[in-house]
Amino acid sequence: MDMQTWRDSHARADNATTALREALAALDLPERIQRHLRPMVTHQGAPFVHVGLLSAEHVEQIAAALRIADEARNLATASRETGS
């Protein structure tokens, strides 16, 4: 992998890490969880976010928020389709 590929991939992973940190902060999850997030790049240049170990309680909070977001998206889609 060349250096530019690594830089681009790392920038993407870093942006994703920041977005996840902001989302977790919006859920009022402890800052110690956000500190465990790390941007990573594979040897092939694929961007990833290492999340680390989360308690079941915090994962349940995240899952509940994702379900609410999915329901809101589904309602918005249904509303657009019916023209309401």
pLDDT score, position 84: 57
pLDDT in tens, 22-34: 999 999 998 888 8
Partners of 73 in the β-ladder: none
For 59-78, what is the mean pLDDT? 91
Q: What is the DSSP letter of 1?
A: -
pLDDT of residue 34: 86
- Among 81, 32, 82, 74, smallest CA distance to 53 is for 32
